[in-house]
Amino acid sequence: MTDAAPPAASPFSAPPPDGREVLDPGDVARALTRIAHEILERNKGAGDLVLLGIPSRGVPLAHRIADRIRAVEDVAVPVGALDVTMYRDDLRRHPARAPHPTEVPPGGVDGRTVVLVDDVLYSGRTVRAALDALNDLGRPAVVRLAVLVDRGHRELPIRADHVGKNLPSATVERVMVRLAGPDGPDGVEGVWIA
Ligand SMILES: O=P(O)(O)OC[C@H]1O[C@H](OP(=O)(O)OP(=O)(O)O)[C@H](O)[C@@H]1O
Ligand SMILES: O=c1cc[nH]c(=O)[nH]1
């Protein structure tokens, strides 16, 4: 007999029949507000900041963080979109992904503090692709990463600087982020996929 520790608790550790809400609209709003404040603190203000959202949900999230920064500092931080489709390392396995437009704000990224924004951080492969995509746009002074949810299970040495919520999860789960507008009310759901 062994004294093995029980597996780490997961917020959705039993197979939920229809998914389980792990963040509600208020949780999402508070997480985005905190991320905006953290970005400002770390950058000592909004100077030279550029937010680049990774499609699809990273783009509206970047705009929402920028709205919060404007409310605090009265500065309109440039926001753009960074498509990573052609930089993915699984392109051969999943060639049918539709690219989204990359939109670089006027002023570009050279010498700026670029904050990449995405909804979920999991293996880290999307962020790896984003760093390659960014490299083709210019040379930022600093690149940081903000995510609404970090669910662990990294496959690459990548970490986020600003995390809305750390959600322990099992690999047989999928974390689904819903954003007000296209997806209904804001929320984060854990869905059992095995
Ligand atoms: O860390 P990773 O393992 O790369 O996973 C995280 C990525 O997975 C999801 O994107 P997905 O490719 O599902 O596309 P979507 O944004 O259109 O949902 C999510 O939006 C992140 O971009
Ligand atoms: O659970 C996951 C894993 C990757 N991407 C997501 O959006 N959710």
Q: How far apart (Å, rounded) are the C-alpha atoms in residues 48 and 46?
A: 6
Residues 6+ apart with CB under 8 A from 31: 23, 148, 164, 165
Domains of the chain with CATH codes: 20-90+101-192 (3.40.50.2020)
Residue type, 114: V
175 in ligand 2 pocket by Cβ < 6 Å? Answer: yes
Ligand 2 lined by 22 (C-beta under 6 Å) = no
174 ligand 2 Cβ < 6 A: yes
Residues of the chain with pLDDT under 50: 1-7, 15
pTM of the model: 0.91
122 lines ligand 2 (CB under 6 A): yes
Distance 73 CA to ligand 1 centre (A): 31
Q: Tell me the pLDDT tens digit for each residue of 161-178.
A: 999 999 988 899 999 999
Average pLDDT, the chain: 90
Check residue 184 and give its pLDDT: 85
